[in-house]
Amino acid sequence: MPSNKIETNLKISAEKSPKKEFKVLIVCNEDMRTEELALRDFSKPMKNIVSGFLTGKRILELSMHEKIVSIEEDIDVSSL
């Protein structure tokens, strides 16, 4: 499995909890259609970046997709 596409901590969590949903950022090739990702409640902040919810199992499956560049956890950022 191409583990270099998934952020390390997310990969470990996805393997331990394949049914859990994670909020993720997916960087993909620009020619990939959003429908191919099967995301729930997604947004597309940039042409090749999609944010949404995926199960651990689906994260691991998508990491093998040739059009996926990277998958990482989408965390809320707040100012101090």
Residues of the chain with pLDDT under 70: 1-3, 45, 77-80
Q: Domains in the chain: how many in total?
A: 1
Residue 39 contacts residue 62 (beta carbons within 8 Å): no
Interval 57-72: pLDDT, tens: 999 999 998 889 999 9
Mind spelling out the 3-state secondary structure of the chain? CCHHHECHHHHHHHHHCCCCEEEEEEEECCCCCHHHHCCEEEEEEECCEEEEEEEHHHHHHHCCCCCEEEEEECCCCCCC
Does residue 48 lie within any of the structural domains? Answer: yes
Q: Is residue 35 part of a domain?
A: yes
Beta strands 21-28; 49-55: pairing state: antiparallel
Separation of alpha carbons 70 and 28, rounded Å: 7
Q: Do 5 and 69 form a contact (C-beta atoms < 8 A)?
A: yes
pTM above 0.85, yes or no: no
pLDDT at 1: 45
Instruction: With respect to residue 61, please indicate whether it lies within any of the assigned structural domains.
Output: yes
For position 31, what pLDDT does the model report? Answer: 80
pLDDT of residue 19: 97
**Domain-located, residue 80:** no
Structure confidence at residue 2 (pLDDT): 45
